[in-house]
Structure 1
Amino acid sequence: MRLGFRPPKDPAAFLDYARGLLNRYQFIEVPGSAALELFDAAQEARSMGYALTFHARYMDLYPGSGVPEIRQVSLRVLREDLERAAQMGAFLVNLHAGNLPWTDYPPPGLSPAHEALREQEEKLRREYLERALEGLAELALLASDLGLRLTLENLPAPQEVPRTPEEMAFFLQVPQLEFCLDLGHARMAGQDPMAFVEVLGTRLVHVHAHANDGRYDLHLPPDPEDLRAFAGKPCTVLVELPPRNASEYLEVYGRLASTGLVPEAMGGEG
């Protein structure tokens, strides 16, 4: 597996992390929300030997929206991100499929309408998935034309899609699309990460590695054992921590190296 990290969005801090983690991490994920500001810093990181992945923008984007205008704008923004990632020299772009506008209904026993509302939500969910499938098929073709790998990430909240292995598998219909397993999101959704591995097979090529308490998306350092299934496989593993201090990434690397999951670093800074 190739190990990467998520940097701060400030160009100077981005480069400080890049220098401090050199010869330990192989790639850096550029956030689409700060891609313009980070373009030059990303190029400098490439000159150091880093590869780049790119996380497409996702706030307020709904590529499966039932409102055509919203869906079209969302897909336009994502197309812009694909083009920007290609210009930057990234090799992979990860994206979200968005979320439903409504999952707020009373629990069983509180309202006799519970089951009918659940059925309505399931209908909306199927329709959203189908529209998102159509949009992501277009994006995957564009990514292929641009020389990019495009991955779809599992999401944690009840209103978000895809959330389960079965929903991720729905998108296997798009031949050019690959997949990102977010281990923290799977935990929050109550899903076994290995179920995603089993259903997605070799099309699971990217992993977001972080931990949480099962309730909140805390982005804590991952347990090395959570990554053992990916050791020796041709996938990219992004350690996804908040931008507090590069030393946290060094500590994660040290734990992975001590358990034999990555080689000991040779030389470099840090």
Structure 2
Amino acid sequence: MLRLAVSSMFFHEYPVDEIFSSIEEAGLTGVEFWVETPHYWLRGRPLPELEAAVRAHPALAPLTIHAPVLDLNPCSINPRVAAASRQYAVEAVELAGAVGADVVTVHPGRRTARRPPSRYDYEHFETYLARLRQAAGGTGVKVAIENMEPKVNSLLCTPEGMREVLDANPWLWFTLDVAHAMAVSNDEVFRYLDLCGDRLANVHLSMAADRQRHLPVAGSPQACAVVRALEERGYRGPLTLEIEDQSFSHPLSLEEKVTVLRDEHRYVAWCLS
């Protein structure tokens, strides 16, 4: 059975321990902790608090970490923005080592202007990867780079582009974002699996419809097809629900969020039955 986790950002407005308790109550077996989870981020990223939550909820270990990305861009034309973005990613790798997380998901960055990436942007990208490689060396933490939506200024938004980066960086891993791939087509998900599945370390599972992203998976035949494909290919890493809580018709209470996750869990289990 795949390890079903959820992004901590689904519980955007709650304290860290309450997030972990709610995920465990829903029957999930993992959590992807976004460093920018507000209660943690806005209070200065208190490491002892996260360590305590991990110790109190061993059923959710090992967790994964998502490096900070909001307002950040490691390939920014602004050198101070680029430097800060890289440093936050490095600190996310260090955090993973401190709390026993096995995977850190990072975004590749983008060209600042809404134009195709240039040589300058790819040079920044190489600098970024070098910093991450140095940070991860000897820690046992897998750094996994995520595929982005197909936008004109995206650096990594095709299976071929991802394969090229993975081949050039044997130490690097891959986080498949299903909704980002589905922005192209349902088949694009399987092209990523065919070309890059050997380096898969994390999967962000959610659906896409029209212009909406990160929708729940319960009831979706496309989600079932992805889950079954992962199982058939022998993937045993985290399967991380990445659900946008604002996509629902009303603000969800804590109890409703737990119910949503129970429904998601039942559906994924049914897909594998």
TM superposition score category, shorter chain reference: 0.7 to 0.9
Match of 1:85 among 79, 92, 96: 96
The 8 Å contact of residues 73 and 109 in structure 2, kept in 1 or not, is answered as yes
Shift of 1:54: 0.4
Shift of 1:72: 1.9
The 8 Å contact of residues 18 and 45 in structure 1, kept in 2 or not, is answered as no
CA distance, structure 2, for counterparts of residue 240 and residue 86 of structure 1 = 23
CA distance, structure 2, for counterparts of residue 46 and residue 130 of structure 1 = 41
1:13 aligns with 2:18: yes
The CA RMSD over aligned residues, in Å, is: 2.3
Shift of 1:254: 1.0
Match of 2:164 among 154, 166, 170: 170
**SS of 1:137's equivalent?**
helix
CA distance, structure 2, for counterparts of residue 226 and residue 163 of structure 1 = 18
5 Å matches for 1:186-201?
A: 186-190=181-185, 192-201=188-197
5 Å matches for 1:25-174?
A: 25-34=28-37, 35=40, 36=45, 39-40=50-51, 42-103=53-114, 121-122=115-116, 124-158=117-151, 159-172=153-166, 173-174=168-169
Aligned residue pairs: how many?
241
- TM-score scaled by length of structure 1: 0.80
With over 3 angstroms needed to count, the CA separation of the structure-2 counterparts of 1:246 and 1:142, relative to structure 1, is same
With over 3 angstroms needed to count, the CA separation of the structure-2 counterparts of 1:46 and 1:15, relative to structure 1, is closer
CA distance, structure 1, for counterparts of residue 207 and residue 103 of structure 2 = 23
The 8 Å contact of residues 103 and 202 in structure 2, kept in 1 or not, is answered as no
Larger radius of gyration: 1
With over 3 angstroms needed to count, the CA separation of the structure-2 counterparts of 1:189 and 1:101, relative to structure 1, is farther
| CA shift digits 1:248-268 (9 cap, x unpaired) | 11112112222325xxxxxxx
Q: 1:106 maps to what in 2? A: none
The 8 Å contact of residues 155 and 162 in structure 1, kept in 2 or not, is answered as yes
The 8 Å contact of residues 17 and 246 in structure 1, kept in 2 or not, is answered as yes
CA distance, structure 2, for counterparts of residue 183 and residue 49 of structure 1 = 22
- TM-score scaled by length of structure 2: 0.79
Match of 1:239 among 235, 238, 241: 241
**SS of 1:180's equivalent?**
strand
The 8 Å contact of residues 55 and 93 in structure 1, kept in 2 or not, is answered as yes
Shift of 1:49: 5.0
Shift of 1:55: 0.5
With over 3 angstroms needed to count, the CA separation of the structure-2 counterparts of 1:79 and 1:181, relative to structure 1, is same
Query: 2:259 is aligned with what amino acid?
Result: S
Query: 1:230 is aligned with what amino acid?
Result: L
With over 3 angstroms needed to count, the CA separation of the structure-2 counterparts of 1:49 and 1:253, relative to structure 1, is closer
Shift of 1:12: 4.6
The 8 Å contact of residues 91 and 147 in structure 1, kept in 2 or not, is answered as yes
Query: 2:262 is aligned with what amino acid?
Result: L
CA distance, structure 1, for counterparts of residue 215 and residue 53 of structure 2 = 23
Query: 1:170 is aligned with what amino acid?
Result: E
| CA shift digits 1:40-97 (9 cap, x unpaired) | 5532454345321000000122212334333222111111121122212211100111
CA distance, structure 2, for counterparts of residue 186 and residue 126 of structure 1 = 25
| CA shift digits 1:128-162 (9 cap, x unpaired) | 23421331132023113222111000111513331
CA distance, structure 1, for counterparts of residue 105 and residue 92 of structure 2 = 10
Shift of 1:220: 2.4
